[in-house]
Copies of this chain bind each other. A is one copy, B any other.
Amino acid sequence: MSDPIEALRAHLAPIDDLESAAAVLAWDQETFMPDGGAEARAHQLSTLQSTAHERFVSDETGTLLDRAADATADADPESLRDDASLVRVTRRDYERARRVPSSLVAELSEATSRAKQAWKKARAEDDFTIFAPHLETLVDLSVEKAEAIGYEAEPYDALLQEFEPDLTTAEVADTFTALREDLVPLVDAIADSPQLEDDVLHRSYPQPAQRTFGEQILADLGYDFDRGRQDVSAHPFTTSFSVGDVRITTRYEKDYLPSALFSMIHEGGHALYEQGIDPALDRTPLGDGASLGIHESQARLWENHVGRSRPFWRHYFPKLQDAFPDAVGDASLDAFYRAVNRVEPSLIRVEADEVTYNLHVMLRFELERGLIDGTVAVDELPARWNEAMDDYLGVVPDTDADGVLQDVHWSMGSFGYFPTYTLGTLTAAQLMDTVREEIPDLDARLAEGDFDPLLDWLRTHVHQHGRKHTAPQLLERVTGRALSATPWLQYARDKFGALYDLDERA
């Protein structure tokens, strides 16, 4: 193999195959695997991941990267732009992966395995002390990992950049501070207004009809069922085995419509991204989302800017009435639109509305940043959590199970992950500002159930590029600006100001 780029691709492709195989096994584990398969599955996943990792961090990868870098450096930059991206992104992943010693990878793997069990027990028994020593270990190992990787300002940078390359903790903090400044008054103003009714959502919605209705929406949005499928799992997720096989999952509550409906549109947004990546990037490190924040932006954009919009329901509400005559036959479009946009401070992040969700995220970001920089001790975490809930949302959980123990992320050692949820929310709004400039009749098209212009725009500007650009680069290219809280705040003030009849001060 004389072409250095082809040699690099040939080396990386089977590594990607192993990672995709692991994704298939993980999908099966959450959807169809019988209980008896768990022990062997853990071994199989561990073997696939370590085999992929060993091949990737091998000296051979470094040698091939050096040769490919020489080849792309000498050539016409325009014609080799994709190859240069491949080299750049692969080198970044490679150097990051090489810096973390295998012993630390193994320690983290074992510690998270134990911590996840302890977290389950702690949450079931509402006893934080069961989880605390495991969390301490994970914090220590994560700091060690951050030190190994290296960072500019603070160790949290290194962890954050696993999910958001090129973004710093300080930038996130600045963005969140700006967001919070205007968000808290908005939430307060909403709280002072008459609440929107959502009884219509708490009626009987038979599961088969939920599935049929939701999958029709997914197909309408552009999700290709010939290159994917939807199944049921305890927690909804999206997973991709190639651009030709991108699967989503959901869960149904027969007495509460939004649970499955909006999770389908949310996961559908993730899946549209994965299905839209240039097939030429398959089996390379470029064949994935630019960052978790960008990924989340696609989910939030379809879920909230489309799925919770009035034009969307202008099209779908009559179909909803046909599908669920008993539940919504006597309801109005307007009442339904208000119901799916009800804002109410609550205890549980995954059940939070579009507005207060961000406060749940900020709280977690501040606490985990403190855990990593040592200003928050593990044993004071429950108290700090409850204080922050009171401060941010005005509600305090009765139990740690509904408080600090509610999320699985920390038990998985995933520090730096939470901010991506709100980064995605902000990114979606910023992208939508540009979309609305470039597709002036968007609402009219949505009201006709015509999602092609929006999907085409996203395919062209976001999806197809995979990981060729980092999130900040992509946002700058597409919207002409760095990430800002302003577009989302404006969107939220407009939408919820109208819904809650707020005056301009909110």
Contact = CB atoms under 8 A, between A and B. Distances in A.
B228 A48 contact: no
B38 A20 contact: no
Summarize A's interface: helix, strand, loop or mixed.
helix
Given A21-B25, A40-B241, A244-B40, A14 B229 contact: no
B227 A34 contact: yes
B21 A241 contact: no
Contact of A21 (B21, B32, B242, B243): B21
A102 interface: no
A17 B225 contact: no
A45 to B, nearest CB: 8
Nearest to A29: B24
A39 interface: yes
A20 B34 contact: no
Contacts of A44: 17, 20-21, 24, 241
A51 interface: yes
Nearest to A245: B37
A236 to B, nearest CB: 17
B28 A47 contact: no
B28 A227 contact: no
Interface residues of A, number: 41
Contacts of A20: 40, 44
A229 B47 CA distance: 24
A465 to B, nearest CB: 20
B36 A224 contact: yes
Interface string A214-254: 00000000001111110100000000011111000000000
Contacts of A227: 34-37
B18 A48 contact: yes
A41 interface: yes
A228 B40 CA distance: 13
Nearest to A31: B32
Contacts of A36: 224, 226-228, 242, 244-245
B283 A43 contact: yes
Given A28-B28, A228-B36, A14 B51 contact: yes
A278 to B, nearest CB: 14
Nearest to A247: B34
A228 B35 CA distance: 8
* Most chain B beta-carbon neighbours within 10 Å: one of A21, A48, A283: A21
A126 interface: no
Contacts of A34: 225-229, 244-245
A444 interface: no
B241 A35 contact: no
Contacts of A242: 36-37, 39-41
A13 interface: yes
A47 B14 contact: yes
A229 B17 contact: no
A33 interface: yes
User: Which 8 pairs, one residue from A and one from B, show the smallest C-beta to C-beta distance?
Assistant: A37-B245, A40-B242, A36-B227, A36-B244, A17-B47, A14-B47, A17-B44, A21-B44
18 contacts: A17-B43, A17-B46, A17-B47, A18-B51, A24-B28, A28-B28, A32-B32, A34-B226, A34-B227, A34-B229, A34-B245, A36-B224, A36-B242, A37-B241, A38-B244, A39-B242, A40-B241, A44-B241
Interface of A: 13-14, 17-18, 20-22, 24-25, 28, 32-41, 43-44, 46-48, 50-51, 224-229, 231, 241-245, 282-283
